[in-house]
Amino acid sequence: MAVQINPSILSADFARLAEEAKAVQGADWLHVDVMDNHFVPNLTLGVPVVESLARATDTPLDCHLMIEDPDRWAPQYVEAGASSVTFHVEAAAAPVRLAREIRAKGARASMALKPATPIEPFEDLLPELDMLLIMTVEPGFGGQAFLDIMLPKIRRTRELIGKHGLQLWLQVDGGVSASTIERCADAGADVFVAGSAVYGAQDPAEAVRALRAQAATATAKASWACDHGATAK
Ligand SMILES: O=C(CO)[C@H](O)[C@H](O)COP(=O)(O)O
Ligand SMILES: [Fe+2]
């Protein structure tokens, strides 16, 4: 499977979101961080902004919900135009029902794990999902340092995906940059969120291209990709 690069608009200029979306043309998805100041100690944007952004760009929206009560809110993000909706398992009351509802409404269903949440208790849920997000920082803020200690979890998750023969995407989010993306790809990630590394760059579109090239090269050399026939874009 090809690697995917998803710039996070958390590091973009919120007053110029439509232009900021165009600045990363060539990106696979736009990553939209929704924070409610309850699940995480920060507040960003909600359904109306996602609705406007979906109208303003052709790049599909990958909504990462860092909010309480995703069972109630996640379906509204699909209706607002998100093509992928990620809820946190720590916040969901009924993750299987929620994933099925997101899919039934026509979006990709994704589940996120905070750094201290292990994957193993959720192995049986993997077939219900289109993507699993492993946080590589504590959720809440952009520009934090990548947590190396998450690499074994990425590796174990990739093994579980292989064991069950699933076509599940494995996303990493937090501190992903030119100096960390290769380790993530080597461990088994294939979808890479990058906020400050893209929007903090002189040329955001070039930063996306450079990250993609690095991830693709690391994936081509990775044992998990050789075993499962993954190919670089
Ligand atoms: O979910 C997030 C934070 O909770 C963001 O997507 C993430 O932090 C991106 O920013 P950066 O690449 O600068 O770490
Ligand atoms: Fe995110």
Residue from 36, 62, 130, 173 carrying the catalytic annotation: 173
pLDDT of residue 231: 47
pLDDT, tens digit (0-9, with 9 covering 90-100), for 183-196: 999 999 999 999 99
Which pLDDT band, with edges at 50, 70 and 90, does 227 fall under? low
Whether the predicted pLDDT of 87 surpasses 90: yes
Ligand nearest to the CA of 41: 1
Residue 213, Cβ neighbours under 10 Å: how many?
A: 15
Ligand nearest to the CA of 143: 1
195 Cα nearest atom in ligand 1: 12
User: What is d(CA 174, CA 166) in angstroms, rounded to the nearest whole number?
Assistant: 24
Residues flanking ligand 1, CB < 6 Å: 8, 10-11, 31, 33, 64, 66, 137, 139-144, 173-176, 193-197
pLDDT, tens digit (0-9, with 9 covering 90-100), for 134-164: 999 999 999 999 999 999 999 999 999 999 9
Q: What is the largest CA-CA distance in the chain?
A: 45
CB distance 53 to 18 below 8 Å: yes
Whether pTM exceeds 0.80? yes
pLDDT, tens digit (0-9, with 9 covering 90-100), for 52-69: 999 999 999 999 999 999
- Architecture per CATH, 4-228: Alpha-Beta Barrel (3.20)
Residue 26, Cβ neighbours under 10 Å: how many?
A: 13
Find the 227 Cα to ligand 1 centroid distance in Å.
30
